[in-house]
Structure 1
Amino acid sequence: MSEAHDLSAAAEDEVLYEVDGHIATITLNAPDRMNTISRDMLARLTELMVVAEEDTAVRCVILTGRGRAFCAGLNLEEARSGGGISGGINSGPRPTLDLRNTPPTVMHAMDTPTICAVNGGAAGYGLDTALGCDIRLMADTAKMAVAFTKRGVVPESGGTWFLPRMLGWEKAAELIFTGRTLSAEESVEWGLASRVVPAADLMTEARALAEEIAGNAPLAVQASKRMMRMGMNETFADHVHHVYLQLLPLMGSDDMKEGMMAFLEKRKPDFKGR
């Protein structure tokens, strides 16, 4: 068995994928090292996000971790040995990492809604990955560590983009410059998570929220997310124009007809995604 095949097999074990109904669950599965991200694990996570996005049956994705941490960042042991995602950056004139195909950029381009069930500590790369999801539910034992400057780096995976937009400049500056760690309750107070739930109920709550989302017309949900994303960089006039262009195909969809009929007939709609 080749080394490449060994790495791929290990990555498959370290990032699990399951589809149940219309919901895909991606689980970081390296609890012995607090789910720190290796190079192959990173590639596998990206691959599974693309799989979920391309599966028309999947209407919501839950991202979580196994063990006491969601993700404690990059695998520094791998990096220290010359591997990891930083491998090659200082060994030649250009990095070997293609930033166009990493979880933060792939996740940002997804139209399928994403929920991060933050089961434990989220730090470094793990924090940025959690922030890249649309919604975050936090176990009461979970924490968010914005500790980049304490390690001599910047939020390298989207944090400097997410945090000012989520919190405003001043609050983002306070968090990033101090490298502070927030409890689950503080994360909600700051506006970085939707709510805190008991750790034992985290996946049940995340699943219930995902099912609520998946029960709506998927084309409309995806178009809404797409418009929200585009609207962050558009003028109001441009945005209204793009919303209208998105609305036109929806108005001719079977799901819109079903939604209207279900409303008139006072019943739960049965959306098909077409």
Structure 2
Amino acid sequence: MSQEATAATVADAEVLLDVRDHIATITLNAPQRMNTISGPMLDLLAKTLVEVDANPDVRVVILTGAGRAFCAGLDLGGAKQGSTGMSGASSSTTIGLRDTPPTVLHNMDTPVICALNGGAAGYGMDLAMGCDIRIMGEGGKLAAAFTKRGLLPESGGTWILPRLLGWAKAAELVFTGRTLGGADCLELGLVNKVVADAEVQDAARAMAEEIAANAPLAVRAAKRMMRMGLKEPFDEHVHHVFLQLLPLLKTEDFGEGIRAFMEKRTPNFTGK
């Protein structure tokens, strides 16, 4: 894909993709039902995430929702009719549990910013938590409402929340199914920044541009190593970081970074 705006899906599709200036914006596009996730939507979102992660022109992804909500969870009406399962797996046979959006998000090397343009509940909260960075509108809310529906956080929440919050705070949030506003989310560290509702997209874009200006191979390697570091002993992890560092020292971007530093100018990284 070129750096020009790219619409990878038709206007009425439930997942929209726009790529420009090394930033891919993926929009959940079912505002009439507050972007609740249907089975086909799961397939399309997962495939779109895989596509942008494999695109060397994309350096940052913004995940957001159309309308007044980010994602109000699974489409429970569809689930009752059998079009999507409790586990979050779609009805399609083309995607397995390991390829659902939260798992794809976890395994992506491309940084992902969640622009929380409204409420995120249940599965939608798991999607938001699966992103690397979260920017929330002051009117937004996070609702871990799983236990209020006879479920549990099935798509990464039980893994992510204890790591973000510590055991006690995560337990309180999950067991009570409590809904949190922007101030509470910021205090707990669930979001990076809370801005005016009208500024969410601009704030996410500004952060994406800041990240995209850096050496993309280095950013991807840093994310990959941070993810590995969650499950490795320190000594083993340092060894793996060194193995990642060696090829970076041979890149054109490393040379450009050094030259730009010496010449006191902004580097122009090419991802090579």
What code does the residue aligned with 1:41 have?
M
**Is residue 10–residue 16 contact of structure 2 (8 Å, CA) maintained in 1?**
no
Q: 1:12, CA displacement in angstroms?
A: 6.7
Give the aligned partner of residue 3 of structure 1: none
SS in 1 for 2:259: helix
**Is residue 43–residue 95 contact of structure 2 (8 Å, CA) maintained in 1?**
no
Deviation per residue, 1:156-214 (Å, 9 max, x gap): 11100000000010100010111100001111111100010111111111000000000
> Which one of the candidate residues 107, 123, 126 is aligned to 1:125?
123
Deviation per residue, 1:238-261 (Å, 9 max, x gap): 000000000000000000000000
Matches within 5 A, 1:12-27: 13-27=13-27
What code does the residue aligned with 2:216 have?
P
Q: 1:10, CA displacement in angstroms?
A: 8.8
Give the aligned partner of residue 180 of structure 1: 178
What code does the residue aligned with 2:137 have?
A
Matches within 5 A, 1:112-261: 112-261=110-259
Distance 1:46 1:33 in 2: 20
**Is residue 144–residue 181 contact of structure 1 (8 Å, CA) maintained in 2?**
yes
Distance 1:86 1:269 in 2: 48
Q: 1:155, CA displacement in angstroms?
A: 0.3
Deviation per residue, 1:83-111 (Å, 9 max, x gap): 22349x9xxxxx99721110011111100
Distance 2:191 2:260 in 1: 33
**Is residue 68–residue 117 contact of structure 2 (8 Å, CA) maintained in 1?**
yes
Distance 2:82 2:107 in 1: 30
Give the aligned partner of residue 79 of structure 1: 79
**Is residue 63–residue 114 contact of structure 1 (8 Å, CA) maintained in 2?**
yes
Distance 1:224 1:113 in 2: 10
Distance 2:117 2:192 in 1: 14
Distance 1:10 1:75 in 2: 22
Give the aligned partner of residue 4 of structure 2: none
SS in 2 for 1:13: coil
1:96/1:224 Cα in 2 relative to 1: closer, same or farther (>3 Å)?
Answer: closer
**What TM-score comes out, normalization by structure 1 length?**
0.92
Q: Which ranges of structure 2 fall in alignment gaps of 5 or more residues?
A: 1-8
Deviation per residue, 1:93-150 (Å, 9 max, x gap): xx99721110011111100000000001100110000000000000111100011111
Q: 1:80, CA displacement in angstroms?
A: 1.4
Q: 1:68, CA displacement in angstroms?
A: 1.1
SS in 1 for 2:226: helix
Give the aligned partner of residue 59 of structure 2: 59
**Is residue 38–residue 85 contact of structure 1 (8 Å, CA) maintained in 2?**
no
1:164/1:86 Cα in 2 relative to 1: closer, same or farther (>3 Å)?
Answer: closer
Distance 1:15 1:123 in 2: 18
Distance 2:215 2:267 in 1: 9
Distance 1:44 1:228 in 2: 27
What code does the residue aligned with 2:37 have?
I
Distance 1:107 1:265 in 2: 38
